[in-house]
């Protein structure tokens, strides 16, 4: 035991004394390194008892404590802001920067719904035409796609829209006064639809009249004309009624997506972008910018690490012979204390960060507002008689 180097009572830090050198050239770190060594040694019993550690051990624990603090801090920042960070460049260090929340990634996540409804999205829609064949009612779109849609091997299409309807009623709206000898009235010119009507004059008519005329045209199509419709099951298109000889040379238009493009899970050109928490550009913290709250946590965590190191050393020499007896060292006790203190310190730090998260702060602000409203509701209202 006498040959084991012990803490000499003082230390003098120089850059290069820590394993990684993350903070060696930070002036505040250089000043605090020796203070932390003195603090930890005295908390471990020096000078009443020997402390089987050297200054290098204290510096190592100090460096690790700062790094653990930074890891916990930036892990919390990532949890709070990742949706706003994903997709941004990895080139800019995010330490000590204000993150502005945005809806970019929420919109990107929701784009898939736009694809399905035909209102936007992130998957291209393609158009194609199916030639109608007289007396053929069913058309296999998978067979058509293998020839006409330029699909890769194993790819399939999904039909989104079939253009199989008559022209809108507004296109077939004719002036009821045309040909009656009373002149013609351009009933729709005030709405920008005059090019669809043969009328050349303008007469102010209630819009309900135009609506009734359009409904009459659509009702006439439903009752007096054949019911043209279709059904689509497993990409097999069945048309009603069966095309006759007049359908020769006619085409049916469709819109479709390629399943391989819709199922594409990655975004092209994402190199150099934040794609997961591992490449978000957070680096070790700048020690001189850490406030007193953070530094106190670092000092306590440094002490816990020193207890752990000292416990491992004393466990190696569990008993020490002395004249007429032997001394049992407290290695196990130190290890147990160190383990529990490290867990408690990390839990305390995480709880502190959680209490300052965006969600927690907004909830606290809401509660303050509710309390204020309740307090103001107790203020009597003054009635003024004038």
CA 40, CA 163: separation in Å to the nearest integer? 79
Sign of the CA dihedral running 306, 311, 317, 318: positive
C-alpha distances (whole Å) from 216 to each of 169, 173, 212, 339 are 9, 10, 6, 83
Residue 131 bridge partners (DSSP): 251
**249 band by pLDDT with thresholds 50, 70 and 90:** confident
Supply 156's token pair: 């399939």
**Cα–Cα nearest to 275, from 105, 27, 47:** 105
C-alpha distances (whole Å) from 153 to each of 123, 148, 159, 382 are 19, 14, 18, 81
Coil, strand or helix at 365? helix
**Cα–Cα nearest to 105, from 335, 273, 317, 353:** 273
**248 band by pLDDT with thresholds 50, 70 and 90:** confident
Contact (CB, 8 A) for 306 and 58: yes
Average pLDDT, integer, range 153-173: 77
pLDDT for res 200:
46
Does the pLDDT at position 60 exceed 90? yes
Supply 75's token pair: 């892990």
Contact (CB, 8 A) for 158 and 256: yes
CA 144, CA 136: separation in Å to the nearest integer? 15
Does the pLDDT at position 293 exceed 90? yes
Residue 197 bridge partners (DSSP): none
pLDDT for res 306:
97
């Amino acid at each position: 035991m006498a040959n084991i180097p012990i803490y000499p009572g003082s230390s003098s830090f120089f850059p290069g004394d820590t394993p990684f050198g993350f903070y060696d050239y930070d002036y505040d770190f250089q000043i605090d390194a020796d203070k932390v060594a003195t603090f930890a040694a005295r908390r471990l019993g020096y000078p009443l008892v020997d402390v089987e550690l050297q200054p290098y051990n204290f510096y190592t624990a100090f460096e690790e404590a700062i790094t653990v603090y930074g890891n916990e801090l930036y892990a919390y920042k990532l949890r709070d802001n990742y949706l706003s960070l994903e997709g941004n460049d990895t080139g800019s260090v995010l330490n000590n920067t204000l993150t502005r929340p945005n809806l970019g990634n929420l919109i990107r996540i929701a784009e898939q719904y736009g694809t399905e409804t035909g209102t936007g999205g992130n998957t291209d829609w393609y158009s194609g035409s199916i030639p109608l064949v007289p007396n053929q009612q069913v058309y296999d779109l998978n067979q058509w796609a293998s020839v006409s849609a330029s699909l890769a091997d194993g790819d399939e299409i999904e039909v989104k829209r079939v253009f199989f309807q008559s022209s809108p009623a507004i296109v077939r709206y004719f002036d009821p006064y045309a040909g009656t000898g009373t002149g013609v009235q351009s009933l729709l010119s005030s709405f920008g639809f005059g090019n669809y009507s043969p009328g050349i004059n303008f007469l102010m008519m209630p819009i309900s009249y135009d609506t009734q005329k359009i409904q009459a045209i659509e009702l006439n199509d439903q009752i007096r004309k054949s019911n043209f419709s279709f059904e689509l099951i497993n990409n097999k298109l069945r048309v009603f009624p069966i095309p006759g000889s007049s359908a020769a040379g006619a085409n049916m238009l469709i819109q479709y997506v390629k399943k391989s493009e819709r199922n594409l899970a990655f975004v092209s050109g994402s190199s150099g972008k934040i794609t997961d928490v591992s490449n978000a550009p957070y680096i070790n913290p700048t020690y001189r910018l850490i406030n007193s709250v953070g530094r106190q946590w670092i000092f306590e965590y440094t002490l816990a690490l020193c207890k752990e190191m000292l416990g491992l050393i004393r466990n190696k020499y569990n008993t020490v012979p002395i004249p007429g007896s032997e001394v049992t060292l407290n290695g196990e006790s130190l290890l147990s204390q160190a383990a529990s203190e490290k867990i408690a310190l990390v839990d305390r730090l995480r709880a502190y960060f959680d209490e300052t998260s965006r969600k927690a702060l907004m909830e606290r602000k809401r509660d303050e507002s509710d309390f204020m409203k309740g307090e103001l509701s107790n203020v009597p209202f003054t009635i003024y008689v004038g």
